[in-house]
Structure 1
Amino acid sequence: MNKFTIAVPASTANIGPGFDSAGMALNKYLNVQVIEQETWEIENHSPLLPSVATYTDHFIYKVAKQIAEKYGKMLRACKLAIYSDIPLARGLGSSASAVLAGIELANQLCSLSLTLEDKLKLATEIEGHPDNVAPVIFGGMVISAVMSHQSIHYFQLPNLDLDTVVYIPNIELSTEAARSVLPNSFSRDDATAASGISNLMIASLISGDYNLAGKMMEQDVFHEPYRAELIPNYQMIKQEAKSQGAYGTVISGAGPTMISFVPRGQGTKIASFMKEKLSDYEVDALVIDQTGLQVHQDLIK
């Protein structure tokens, strides 16, 4: 009988102008402890997880069942003990983490031997785009694109000499609501400007010019100008973080969380300062998770 744990990091996406294509794994985690047994049982051990009436209603189970059936397999029964410090509907990739946990659960229980690319394709089919799921799988910062023939290409950036600070308000914002305020199209001039800003941000991150990268991430044209009104304290957070040495501050995913990219080793100091400005927020100094999804095996004897 197998016992194993699936550990899945949180993620931030867009990072300003990298709309639906740039993402980064962060060191908040969804952990799923799995023990095979004769019947299904799921226990949620975190107030951040939604309550469900039966195991068949649990999102992770439903994803695992979907993947198993796709490969003509049946899930073996087990007990899941689920722990999470990733807040729901806050722009930190809770959905992507749950999707990957479900895919990995099926992979382990059904011996599917999925490659990392297989997991990326499956997760993207469920999520709709790879910006969050790619860094959750690979770790670090990943740029990804879905081509017209549905193939997915990605590039994992070298380790970045950065830390982050996240500002999590006590409100939820669904991706659907955040997308509803975006324009359906852009003029050629706006699209050209937005593309150039995004390209320069990525090039600056790779080269280690974090001052320029921070400047570019705050010049987004694709989504931040439209979503700013949905984000509490949007301008104040950007200005106060900048005063403390942050390179740049942007909306995390669809929001309402915001995230600052700061010099390595400065996260705790800046987070402490920002907590005084945002007493009703959860303010956390986080580091970039470089490993992505992990499975820890433990055979029961």
Structure 2
Amino acid sequence: MRISVPATSANLGPGFDTLGLAISLHNQVSIKPSKFHSVSLKGEGSNNPVLKDNNMFIAIFNDFYHNLSQKKRHFRFEFSNEIPLSRGLGSSSAVIVSAIASAYAIEGIKIEKEKLLNLALAYESHPDNITPAVMGGFNVATVHENEVKFIKKDMPRSVKAIVVIPNRPMSTQLSRKALPFKYSKEDTIFNISHSSLLTAAFINEDWEMLRNASLDKIHQKYRMKQMPELFDVQKTALKHGALMSTLSGSGSTLFSIALNEDAKRIESELHKRFPHFRVLTRGFDNDGVVIKD
């Protein structure tokens, strides 16, 4: 059996810990019965031997599998990763979601996506990454009484994601420590209003509204100061026609949206301006986690 989970971009500017969407950049894992435990790893993270020995996927998979089956079996895990590690593209959420889904699938137990999402919440307390990883598309999500409440909107093919991936990570833990302990009423209202407008813009596909609606006063500038060149990346993307450009999650990736006809030009300009960073253009994923026999 094989599991595929998309990359995600969370926050999207003002939607701190609330808004997220899925990008067509995937981690896949193939699981086969085996006489002994074995792991192979291709793509992102394959040059990190620690991931084979201290693999979060296998730890979560084993917890769920043993609870579901009460059996001892060995498997061969073959990972093929496209999602960069520790770059704000939801690599941890992809691991959590795929590990839980795999444990159920290998036992032949059908799991509804809503249940999968809420099981993942135990490992990732913020729903902005895990929700699009499970559901795909654009999602508005919150947690109420330990349950994720969300609304999903499929993303059209008329727009593309452009991600600029720096050559070094930004720690989520340190990134959160950089944030203020208190915010002014004015900044709080600013973010509530812009997050609401951004949500409406996505739902209505009002792409021209994104640039203003995606402005933020809560977290981006504090986090981006850790890697000041990100301000220039953002400015360059917007200058050359991006509809919006925001820090992806807690960074270090910068995420932009562009109309199809503008995406390649913007990607080319970003390549020229930041040759030491990776620049990728991708469509959006509306399926989320997919299990294939």
The alignment status of 1:65 with 2:62, answered yes or no, reads yes
Q: What does residue range 73-222 of structure 1 map to in structure 2 within 5 Å? A: 73-74=70-71, 76-147=73-144, 149-160=145-156, 161-217=158-214, 219-222=215-218
Question: CA separation in 2, counterparts of 1:195 and 1:67?
Answer: 38
Question: TM-score normalized by structure 2?
Answer: 0.93
CA distance in 2 between counterparts of 1:170 and 1:253 reads 16
Q: Check the 8 A contact 1:267/1:286 in 2, yes or no.
A: no
Q: What's the CA shift string for 1:239-263, capped at 9, x where partnerless? A: 2112211111110111011011111
**Counterpart residue identity of residue 274, structure 1:** L
The code of the aligned residue for 1:51 comes to P
In 2 relative to 1, CA 291–280 (structure 1 residues): closer, same or farther, beyond 3 Å? same
Is the counterpart of residue 294 in structure 1 residue 290 in structure 2? yes
Distance (Å, rounded) in 1 between the aligned partners of 2:262 and 2:52: 44
CA-based RMSD of the aligned residues comes to 1.8
Q: 1:36 aligns with which of 16, 33, 36?
A: 33
* Structure 1: gaps of 5 or more residues: none
- In structure 2, stretches of 5+ residues that fail to align are none
**1:54, 1:290 → 2: CA distance?**
30
- Shift of residue 264 of structure 1? 2.6
- Once structures 1 and 2 are overlaid, which stretch shifts more, 46-55 or 189-198? 46-55
Quick check: 2:40–2:52 contact (8 Å CA) kept in 1?
no
Cα deviation for residue 231 of structure 1 reads 2.8
Helix, strand or coil: the match of 2:287? coil
Selected match of 1:264 from 247, 260, 263: 260
Q: Which residue of 2 aligns with 1:280?
A: 276
Q: What does residue 24 of structure 1 align with?
A: 21
| Matched residue type, 2:50 | V
The verdict on how the C-alpha distance between 1:40 and 1:186 changes in structure 2, with shifts beyond 3 A counting, is: same
CA contact (8 A) 2:136 2:285 kept: yes
> Contact between 1:25 and 1:141, CA under 8 Å: does it hold in 2?
yes
Relative distance call for 1:46 and 1:54 in structure 2 (3 A) is closer
Please give the TM-score of this superposition, normalised by the length of structure 1: 0.91
Distance in 1 (CA, whole Å) between partners of 2:269 and 2:51 is 42
- Count of residue pairs the alignment pairs up: 291
